[in-house]
Structure 1
């Protein structure tokens, strides 16, 4: 099973990545400015305001589960 954590570089996202990896799931995560420090995920830059990029990341990862842990702070 592949898990995608949107906003994986934040506090909640980091914990979700850790739990998914511990459970044995392939894990991918996104970040807005810089990837998190965990090596348990494949990192992808993502701006949720860019629909084409969102579609590209979703297609590339093909996740079975998607968790949005982003803070939602848009400029």
Structure 2
């Protein structure tokens, strides 16, 4: 298991459900950092993810937003 950071993520995606969904692109999400859920870390969101290191790990994740993608 590893902590995955999502820097630059708009605050609209800082809900637990959204973060867990985004984390599935890396592996099996286990736990969202409590500081992230409280908004205490303004620079990145953190999620603990179970990763299979035998598979490729993406270095970027495309987020499709209502107004734009990033």
Q: Shared topology, TM-score over 0.5? A: no
Higher helix share: 1
TM-score by length of 2: 0.29
